[in-house]
Amino acid sequence: MDLFEQEHEQRMSREAAAAKLRALADALSQHNSLEFERNGKQITISVADEVDFSLEIEVGEKNELEIELKW
């Protein structure tokens, strides 16, 4: 299987970012897969019943919150 990798960065309001996170969380809790589409490419990712959850916070000149799920 070929590696599919996608990174997308976009400036938006805090509320819009929360809405995107909420939609992702809803999809994750309701289905065993997630669907992503960008530039005409679509991928469906099967998600295991258990995942490794990682949360990283960096506070400095520019603050950062990174959430990572692995399975």
Number of neighbouring beta carbons within 10 Å of residue 7: 5
Q: Are strands 52-58 and 33-38 parallel, antiparallel or unpaired?
A: unpaired
Report the percentage of the chain scoring pLDDT > 90: 70
| pLDDT per residue as tens digits for the range 13-31 | 999 999 999 999 999 999 8
Q: Please tell me the distance from the alpha carbon of residue 23 to that of residue 33, in angstroms, as a whole number.
A: 13
Instruction: Note if the pTM is more than 0.85.
Output: no
25/1: higher pLDDT = 25
